[in-house]
Amino acid sequence: MSGVPASAAGGPRTAPVVRQAGLWNIANLLTMLRLVLVPAFVVLLMHDNGTDPVWRVFAWAAFAIAMITDVFDGHLARTYNLVTDFGKIADPIADKAIMGAALICLSVLGDLSWWVTGVILFRELGITLMRFWVIKHGVIPASRGGKIKTLAQGTAVGMYVLVLTGPLATFRWWVMAVAVALTVVTGFDYIRQAVVLRRAGLVRERAERAERDAAR
């Protein structure tokens, strides 16, 4: 043996092994916490038919923790390479679960109009299904408008969870109106992106098919 490494001698190099992040990492634990908080939030909000202001403060705290962990788990997963298959599936489920539970419970209690809940849930579920529709052509990235929409939704729903009166009650109505407007506008923008992405993907597939046929 020459003692010279294979890479230095021009020999084959072994590709570095990328270690898959384990299931029990901080990002996944935060996602699991969010999932656990969903039923806890529902119990706290619906206690005594939602008439106890103290319990609704507890419900708001659970909702706030869930929304905050939503911000941190994705950031931690991307920053420290903690992305796992579980996280890819569970994270969006947790997001939709906490927001959907809050909207439905508020509408059941009569605090929020059902049409508001319907518009937001229809948009969120529709965009999720649309992402799967075009996923083979590419991934639709989260836009700045979408992030602002999420912040507006979380703020508005959080204010409705609390028992507010007077100017604050009026103000939360306007915050919810902004959230609904952003929900609709960003929804159409995602549809536009999906159509463009799918068309580009189909054109690329036709070009690749034509090249293969020409090479035969």
Specify the pLDDT at position 1: 46
Residue 21 CB: number of other CB atoms within 10 A?
Answer: 18
Contact 31, 98 (CB under 8 A): no
0.75 surpassed by pTM:
yes
Closest CA to 183 of 130, 134, 116: 116
User: Distance between alpha carbon 161 and the CA centroid of its chain, in Å?
Assistant: 21
Look at residues 158, 147, 137 and name the one whose alpha carbon lies nearest to residue 189: 147
Confidence at residue 116, expressed as pLDDT on a 0 to 100 scale: 96
Residues with pLDDT less than 70, the chain = 1-23, 74-75, 77, 80, 82-83, 85, 87, 139, 141-142
Contact 75, 33 (CB under 8 A): no
pLDDT for res 183: 94
First to last CA, the chain: 47
3-state helix, strand, coil in the chain (%, to 5): 75, 0, 25
94-141: pLDDT as tens digits: 888 999 999 999 999 999 999 999 999 999 888 878 877 887 777 676
